[in-house]
Amino acid sequence: MIYLIILILFLIIILFLTVKNKIKALKIISISSISAGILTIIVGYIFKYIILNVTHEVNLSIISNTILSKFIKNSLILISIGFLELLSTKIIKS
Amino acid sequence: MKNKKIILVVLIVILLILTCTIASTYAVIINVTNKNGILEIVNKITIKDLLINDNGTYNSTYYNVINTLDITDNEASTLMESESLNEKLQIVLNTVVDYKINNNVTAKLSNDEIYNLIVDGINNTNNITEELKNKVITKSSEYINDVSDFLYDIEVSLLEDY
């Protein structure tokens, strides 16, 4: 997990170095964060579908819904971070 | 030069989105597969949850159980709502998860242990007739092998496999 966080920080740094306009770079990061949040929800629904199809002998809805709710929570965190970054670009611009 | 920069930025953005998504997914997997995560999920599950489909109808396992035990829907309802039996279910589910996901062979309960849990659960159930009690205990003794096979042979795939 720590390697993923290091990779994310590394990519953010490279992006800031590559894009001259730092506000534009922050905007790109915010859109990436929001997109990752949306993708996380999709992944959550895929996991839900997989779990429900593990067995049909018993109903695993409780398990799949609990796991989906965790995906949605993480997704909302990513989306919120994205919108906060977008808001901060507007504040910096003004 | 400008085109190369655009391609690089696009590549970084794609990598960033994928990495964030993978990190988020991995965080869920870690949360769900650790001891507290498993307990959180298992402690929510009741007998009724396992035997009822999302549309409120009973599944085939429910009908197999009531046919095997030769009980009515009302008697089945008494068993499904038994607090004591639900507690025993959670104990068993924890061992199933430990056995299947953590590959802990020592976690698997023996037939006698499962039988004793069922008997204990039945004896501590309120508002249950002696006839129903005896039916469940007798049939559990007869079918304990099948119960154990059913519990520990359900195909469970670790989320990480996907």
Query: pTM higher than 0.90 for the full model?
Result: no
What's the mean pLDDT in A73-86?
94
Q: In this complex, is the C-beta atom of A50 within 8 Å of any C-beta atom belonging to chain B?
A: yes
Report yes or no: A65 at the B interface, CB cutoff 8 Å: no
pLDDT of res. B154: 61
Task: Kindly list the residues from chain B whose CB atom is less than 8 angstroms away from the CB atom of residue A75.
Answer: 24
**CA nearest B84: which of B141, B123, B50?**
B123
Q: State phi, psi for B156 to the nearest 5 degrees.
A: -120, 120
Using CB atoms, which residue from A5, A18, A40 is nearest to B5? A18
CB distance B17–A71 less than 8 Å? no
Helix (H), strand (E) at residue B16 = helix B2-33
Summarised one tens digit per residue, pLDDT across range B58-87 is 988 899 889 988 899 998 999 999 999 999
Beta carbons within 8 Å of B112's beta carbon, 6+ residues apart: none
Q: Encoding tokens for residue A11?
A: 């990519």
Q: What residues of chain A lie within 8 A of the CB of B50, using their CB?
A: 58-59
Long-range contact set of residues A21-25: C-beta below 8 Å, sequence gap at least 24: A23/A89, A23/A92, A23/A93
Radius of gyration of chain B from Cα atoms? 23
Q: How far apart are CA B134 and CA B140, in angstroms?
A: 10
Tell me if residue A59 falls in helix, strand or coil: coil
Q: Which residues pair with B58 in a beta bridge?
A: B52
Q: Tell me: pLDDT of A27 over 50.
A: yes
